[in-house]
Amino acid sequence: MSHFITGVVVEICTPFDEKGEIDWQYLREMVRWHVSCGVSAFFVNGYAGECHELTFDEKLAVLKAVYEEVHDDAKIMACSFENDIRANKRLIDAYEETGMADCYCITAPPFFKYSQAALYDWAAELIDYAKRPVYIYNCVEQSVLFAPDTLAKLVENHPNLRGFKDASTNVVNFQQCVLRIDPENFDFLGGCDGFDGIMVLLGAVGCVSFMAVPYPREMVDIVNKGLAGDWKGCIEAQQKVLRIRNIVKKTPFNAGWNWAMRYGFGKETRSRMGEKQDWVPYEVKLELDELMRELGYEGQDIERTPLDDEMAGITDFR
């Protein structure tokens, strides 16, 4: 069995304007830019895309916009991260009616910690329901992670499960999964930008990456070198991205990533979560700008804002 998804799957943000409406022009231009940078697929309506902030109709509209810009240049993995089985089936049905997604991604239910037996039933029902390949997002922020034995049982009994994005941030957990499931016939994907390269070297065939939103070329470099067996080059490329990530992680999610778009893409964007969630401290902007200059990007003129003064010393988001 050949791999269905390989390379960098960019976990796109959903860009918003000052009024909180989706910035459709920005979205379309961003997608075209990502394609030009060599990404393999798009992760649409994920958590970094603020699916929790989008209406049902907006999710379909975002999918349509991405599809119209991608054409046949990359695949689309449409996410269904709804709160219950019925809502997920409704969204998957709507995705299917468009014919625009190549595959789907599901994750564990939110809020309450499921047993592994209940988690198995949840995932199995959705995997069997979907008419296209399904991927699982093992998300550390959810109430529960898929245990390696649970994942292996799902793979054995439900052939429509095609791959797995492991964002557990636990390399031992990932290796336990690879031990149980043939990586030649299953699409293991890295899910933590802090060590996606390591995961490729250990058996993944790509990654789902939020760092690829502002830094697609850098993430493609990591994965390509890892898949080529260039372990030294892969680690060097990973550490380059890690230096950037260490800085943007000093901001609220997704603020630093949205701000960093001004370097590669040429203009930053914002979330739908409010200006204080979008705030990037002045000192962090300076730190990022210094690193960007070192890495060959054009520097920016950074000025203090009134919000910098209002929020000075407040770092309760980390």
Which stretch of DSSP H or E encloses residue 9?
strand 7-11
Query: C-alpha distances in angstroms, 151 versus 48, 83, 145, 148?
Result: 24, 20, 10, 5
Tokens of 126: 């959705």
Q: Is 208 annotated as a binding residue?
A: yes
Which of these, 198, 146, 206, lies nearest to 177 by C-alpha position? 146
Catalytic residue among 137, 215, 225, 263: 137
User: Which residue in the block uniquely carries the two structure tokens 């991608």?
Assistant: 70
Tokens of 97: 């009616």
How far is residue 24's CA from residue 15's CA, in Å, rounded to a whole number?
8
Is 232 one of the annotated active-site residues of the chain?
Answer: no
Which of these, 21, 23, 11, lies nearest to 267 by C-alpha position? 23
Instruction: Indicate the SS3 state at residue 270.
Output: strand
Catalytic residue among 59, 75, 165, 225: 165
The vertex-50 CA angle with 45 and 55, nearest 5°, equals: 75
Is 137 one of the annotated active-site residues of the chain?
Answer: yes
**Enzyme catalytic residues:** 137, 165
**Binding site membership: which residues?**
208
**Binding site membership for pyruvate: which residues?**
208
